[in-house]
Amino acid sequence: METKGLMGGLYKITEWIMRIAGSNLYWLLCSSPFLFVVFSKLIYNADPAAQPEVLTYWVMAVLAPFTLFPATAALFSVTRKWVLGETDLSITKLFFRSYKDNYKQSMLGGIFYTLLIVIMYVDYEVYMKEFKNMQILGIVMMVLLFFILLSLFNFFSLVAHFHMKVKMLIKNAILLTVLRPFRTLSTFLTAVVIGFITLKFTWLIPFGFATLIAWMAYFNFNIAYTKVQEKVERLRQVEEEGTQQADGEAGEDAESVVAELTEGEDKEKN
C-alpha cells in the first residue's frame, strides 16, 4: 500500500537517501585501493617535512584502470536507471552486475585514459620547467588535458548506456564533448560545487558525493544524446526526401560521425 501525506513524503526522502548512500558506499568499496593511496598521499603531503616523491602517483596510475574506472562505470549504470525513471530496483544487484558486465570495457578505457593523462601531464611539466621558451606548448597541453578529463563524464555515461567497442566509446565520448561542451562544463561545475561542499563537510563523503556527480553527469549526457538523436533523425529524413541542403546547425561530416552513437546497442538490464 502506498503511503501518502507527510509520512509518505518522509518515506520517499528516506528511501532516496538510502539509495544514494548505498550506491556511494559500493563505489567507495570497489575504488578503495585507489582511494587509499590517494588519501595516504594527501596525509603525507600535509606533513611540512615531507620530501617530494612520485612513486605514489605511479601507483595511482596503475590502480585506477582496475579499480576506479570499473567502480565508476557501475555507479553510472545505477544513476542511468534513475534518470530513465527506473527507481524500484535492487541497488546491490544492479551495481555489482554492472560492475561485472562493464569491467572489461571500463578497464581498457581506463588504461587508455590513464596513459593519455600521464603522457600529457609529463609533457606539460617538461615544457613548463625544462623548456622555458616553449611554455605555450605546456599551456596547450594543460588545456587538452582538461578537455580529456571532461570527456570522462561522457565516457562513463556511454559505457553505462551502450554495448560498444572500447575504441568507439572513447571516440564518441570525445566527440560528444566537442559537440555539447556546455552540457559537459555544467557537469564539471556541478562536480566542483559538490566537491567543495564535501571538503567543507567531510562526513558527507560516505553519503553520496560520487553518486550525485554521476547522477548529474548522466542526466546531462541523456539530454545531449537525445538532442543528437533528434538531429540524426532529421538528417535521415532529409536524405530520404532527396534534399541536398545542409542541416545548418553543424557540419555534415560531424553529424555523420555522431550517427554512430545511434548504432550502438542500448543496455536494457533489469
pLDDT of residue 75: 97
pLDDT of residue 265: 62
pLDDT tens track for 13-48: 888 989 999 999 999 999 999 999 999 988 888 877
Domain total in the chain:
1
pLDDT of residue 267: 64
Residue 49 inside a domain? The answer is no
Asked if 56 contacts 37 with a C-beta cutoff of 8 angstroms, the reply is yes
Residue 74 inside a domain? The answer is yes
Cα 189 to chain center, whole Å?
13
Residue 44 inside a domain? The answer is no
Max Cα–Cα distance, the chain, nearest Å:
72
Instruction: Give the whole-angstrom CA distance, residue 110 versus residue 159.
Output: 11
Residue 48 inside a domain? The answer is no
Residue 57 inside a domain? The answer is no
Which residues of the chain are modeled with pLDDT < 70?
Answer: 1-5, 242-270
Domain, as residue range, for 18: 5-31+67-266
Residue 46 inside a domain? The answer is no
Residue 141 inside a domain? The answer is yes
Residue 13 inside a domain? The answer is yes
Cα 206 to chain center, whole Å?
19
pLDDT of residue 270: 39
